[in-house]
Amino acid sequence: MYLLDTNITSFIVSKPIFAENIKKNIIRAGILNGKESLFYSVVSYQENLFGIEDAKIKFGKEFKKERFKNQIEFIENELTIVYYSKEMAKIFVDINMKTTKEGFNISSFDLMIAATAIELGYTLITNNVKDFQNIPGLQYEDWTVI
């Protein structure tokens, strides 16, 4: 089972070269039905919704509503959204303490997404290897490369 990071859904709808690599990796992983194998954290979904509202402010009339609409439709129709739990919150505290002690500055959202993957035993699919590689117990892959 796989948990997609926020940046992966952005790439699927907006970066054709990454989208092609992601599709190839989905095939390589033997995934036939995304709803059964591809999951998405409610934390990532929240990041997407915030990104839309933030882009409206930043870009005003230049705002590309269609791009974001496609991304939200993909998430809602092709992925299963996973909700945050008390167990995930406990894992978040543990990995936050460990990574902070080791001098890594990782965003709370990324730590929450990592805690979700760890609790569920899922592999996190991300392009943000720089931050996630420092989280103990997290399995991750970068599907933007072959």
**What's the rounded mean pLDDT across residues 85-100?**
98
pLDDT for 139 beyond 80? yes
pTM, 2 dp: 0.91
Question: Who contacts 47 (Cβ-Cβ below 8 Å, separation ≥6)?
Answer: 6, 109
Write down the pLDDT at residue 70.
83
pLDDT at 49: 92
Which two tokens mark 25?
Answer: 């990796």
124 and 114 in contact (C-beta within 8 Å)?
Answer: yes
The pLDDT of residue 111: 98
Tokens of 119: 């609790």
Kindly state the DSSP code that residue 83 receives in the 8-state scheme.
Answer: P
What CA–CA distance (Å, rounded) separates 68 from 65? 5
Secondary structure tally for the chain: helices H, strands E: 8, 5
- CATH ID of 2-141, from 3.40.50.1010, 1.20.80.10, 3.40.190.10, 2.40.50.100: 3.40.50.1010
Percent of the chain with pLDDT over 90: 66
Question: Mean pLDDT across the chain, nearest whole number?
Answer: 92
pLDDT of 66 over the 80 cut:
no
* Residue 141, pLDDT above cutoff 90: yes
Quote the CA–CA distance of 33 and 112 in Å, as a whole number: 26
Q: Which residues contact 21 (CB under 8 A, 6 or more apart)?
A: 143, 144, 145, 146
Is residue 4 over pLDDT 90?
yes
